[in-house]
A = this chain, B = another copy of it.
Amino acid sequence: MPSGVSAADLTEVLAGRWGWVRDEARAHLPDALFRTDPHAPMDVYRDEVLDVVRAVAATGSTAHGFPTAVGGGGDVGASVVQFEMLGFGDLSVMIKSGVHFGLFGGAVTSLGSEDHHRRYLPATIAVERVGCFAMTETGHGSDVASIETTAVYDPATQELVLTTPHEGARKDYIGGAARHAQVAAVFAQLVTGGPGEEPTGRGVHCLVVPLRDDAGALLPGVEVEDDGPKAGLNGVDNGRIRFTAVRVPRADLLDRFARVAPDGTYSSDVQSASRRFFMTLGALVRGRVCIAAGVGAATQQALAVAVRYGLTRRQFARPGADGTSEEVVLLDYRAHQRRLLPALATTYALQLAMNELTGRLHDVQSAPGEVDEGEQRELETRAAGLKAVATWHATSTIQTCREACGGAGYLAVNRLPQLRADTDVFTTFEGDNTVLMQLVGKGLLTSYAEDFGEMGTWGTVRAVADQVVDRLAERSTARVTLQRLREAVPGSDDADLRDRGWQMRLLVEREAHLLVGVARRLRRAKAPGADAGAVFNDAQDHLLAAARAHVDRVVVEALVAAEDACEDDAVGELLARVGDLHVLATIERDRAWYLERGWLTPGRSKAVLATVNELCEELRPDARLLVDGLGIPERWITAPIAHGQVGQPSGDGGGRTSTGAQGAPAGGSAAAAVERVPVQAG
């Protein structure tokens, strides 16, 4: 039975605090964003993408995140949601826009002084000078602290001398470097010393460095190489940059956290070098939040195409039906539902979690005064975790959507290939996902160690879990859920599988168990004579599992909060089913782990599978409503197969001369043919 809920109701649930930015985008984003030609010659496509970036900027929406003093909106959250909405269009535009406004503009905003803001930001907002962000090097990506480009201060001229010492230290994969960027935010090892002091390495700092003149010619000492064609995002002109004694005025060192005096004396308000590095990179957390948000939009676009196609494409006659009956619609097959509906439910849950994360980022970065270190660390942990989980989800879901559309899904006109290829690198850039998940694990160990000290005994598991529950209680209004959450016993066979309290308890205790366990293992590294490297390596997958469990829990928290906030009964019921499907599919994925620990009995584990199937069946009538609820305007969905224009069978069922024989399938569709399987036995 369809739920009777309206798509607009669901769109409202998913809108979050910046619904106005979503509405603005739906009304004003230029059509060109959805109609680029990624198969044009590469430089033509790159220029087209820059044109679209300028067209978007002309609507004013790309200024939301800049300081009001330079004409921006001073609204961090709005800037994230604006970026996210670009994710429904050409992703090269989204990334090109993100590099210029978010990374280059963001570095100047976060790491620079008001003087830098005045000198650089107005031209950035107006896209008068295209900026890029030169952090990664060929030899060092994940390990930013080890980059090797140097900026050596020369007090004689009050300049910093920028040098690429060898091939491994060239800046690489830099979006904008190959063709358009005129100015770069360059990260380098700063070397300076005051009078009588030996010049000393001060760690990674950021400088503003011009690359090209107004006519686009490279400046002296700057060499650029094109990274060439990539798997996707070919509208972004990635390249390599090599600096040979490029001189930059002292005033172009972004000096919010550290300064060089005219005589070379280095000073910083932040005493610890490691803390300074943390703050320098921490200011850039917005990039990760943006990627996680934007990839969600791309995933939603893919699901809209695949689900709509699955609701019109028919393949194979129903068993026992005569030759004139209609063939079965793909989404009526269990296997097809299993592919698409849990992914759709998880996409809803991730959107809700992303909305919370965007709000948290906004609140932390908009708070007056010094940033609270604990808040900042929790923000970074969540940003890293959600970025990793959202991009992995995108990669697998878009792939599934492609396969679910068969041969039609392989055609560029149906957009899935471009979505797949463009999002592929999202698991790598703005932090490799595996590395990010380790940061999450590290962050958790730090937080919980503060609360629980040694954390050496298994008794701590319950204490950790209880603390999480208490924190939930502080922010939640879902008293009933929370009561059940407090009382639920994870190993119990009695609780309703659809009880959110029981589900949540399972996730919370899993996280606590994994975390306490990995802390115990890592303690061994401190034993006398221990091979610390071996201990860490042995525990690596354990740490990654703990991080994943944490993110899973955070996502379900956001779901519970949205359910609490929902005032309409019908919408709430539908949301509860979507939530059940997401949570139970998550538990199903990890059910071996629960079985190994006796937290699920074999019977209950099988019941989880059966309930996921039931939920797919229950949500099937609302499948179209659920994709419509994502709030994607029709004109943004350009794939012909989403509009029933291609791949439609005749529908009349007449005139066919089928032999009725068992079809050995060949060719292009993803139909599932169980109906053709004869019963051989019984």
Contact = CB atoms under 8 A, between A and B. Distances in A.
Given A673-B142, A682-B455, A668 B592 contact: no
Given A140-B649, A333-B540, A319 B525 contact: yes
A652 to B, nearest CB: 9
A172 B142 contact: no
Contacts of A669: 140-143, 428, 432, 435
A204 B173 contact: no
Interface string A390-401: 000001000100
Contacts of A538: 334, 613
B421 A522 contact: no
Interface stretch (A61-69, A621-629, A659-667): A659-667
A645 to B, nearest CB: 9
Interface string A329-372: 00011110010000000000000000000000000000000000
A543 B677 contact: yes
Interface string A255-290: 000000000000000000111111001101001000
A602 to B, nearest CB: 4
A390 to B, nearest CB: 15
A540 B674 contact: yes
Contacts of A333: 537, 540
B169 A650 contact: yes
Contacts of A227: 411
Contacts of A554: none
A526 B682 contact: yes
A191 interface: yes
Interface string A444-460: 01101100111110000
A525 B228 contact: no
Contact of A673 (B143, B273, B455): B143
A82 interface: no
A116 interface: no
Interface string A643-682: 0001111100001111111111111111111111111111
Contacts of A315: 140-143
B657 A430 contact: no
Nearest to A171: B667
Given A42-B39, A435-B671, A680-B449, A173 B666 contact: no
Contact of A338 (B42, B201, B541, B665): B541
Nearest to A187: B666
B142 A663 contact: yes
A633 interface: no
A135 B429 contact: no
A316 interface: yes
Contacts of A596: 595, 602, 605-606
Contacts of A679: 445, 522-523, 525-526
Contacts of A282: 664
B143 A663 contact: yes
A655 B165 contact: yes
A407 interface: yes
Contacts of A448: 680-681
Contact of A399 (B140, B146, B201, B395): B395
A334 B540 contact: yes
B431 A665 contact: yes
A286 to B, nearest CB: 12
A394 B197 CA distance: 58
A334 B539 CA distance: 9
A250 interface: no
A196 interface: no
Given A532-B320, A540-B334, A662-B277, A456 B667 contact: no
Nearest to A657: B201
25 contacts: A39-B229, A141-B315, A142-B406, A142-B667, A144-B667, A145-B662, A146-B656, A146-B663, A203-B661, A228-B411, A231-B402, A231-B416, A274-B659, A278-B664, A284-B666, A319-B532, A417-B421, A431-B664, A432-B670, A435-B673, A442-B677, A445-B681, A449-B681, A455-B681, A597-B602
Given A231-B416, A455-B681, A519-B681, 5 more contacts: A141-B407, A230-B411, A276-B661, A409-B428, A541-B613
